[in-house]
Amino acid sequence: METYNVYMDESPTGDANGGEEGVEVEFRVVPDSSDDGDPGNNAVLAGLDLVDLINLRDALQQEIDNYALTALEAEASADEGDGEELMP
């Protein structure tokens, strides 16, 4: 079974003239059979099979969903709090 390596590439972003600088992150998934890098030292995750990648995707999606739900609940609570202050 083919295995895969996950890399995280970072590049600086932001304004060099005093603005906030940040880092833009991009992930790459490379089949081990065609990986000409050094995955043992440079990959974020190395040697994942397809089932591992699917499980990783599902775990990330669950965390994204949890974050979005928490943000929506916080927004709804803030909206309810604003409505109560306006009523006598």
pLDDT digits (tens, 9 = 90+) for 31-80: 999 999 899 999 999 999 999 999 999 999 999 999 999 999 999 888 87
Q: Is the pLDDT of residue 81 over 90?
A: no
- Alpha-carbon span 34 to 37, nearest angstrom: 9
Give all strands (DSSP E) within 1-88, no chain letters: 4-14, 21-31, 45-48
Per domain, the residue ranges of the chain are: 1-48, 50-88
What is the pTM assigned to this prediction? 0.69
Residues 2-20, mean pLDDT to the nearest whole number: 82
Strand 4-14, strand 21-31: pairing: antiparallel
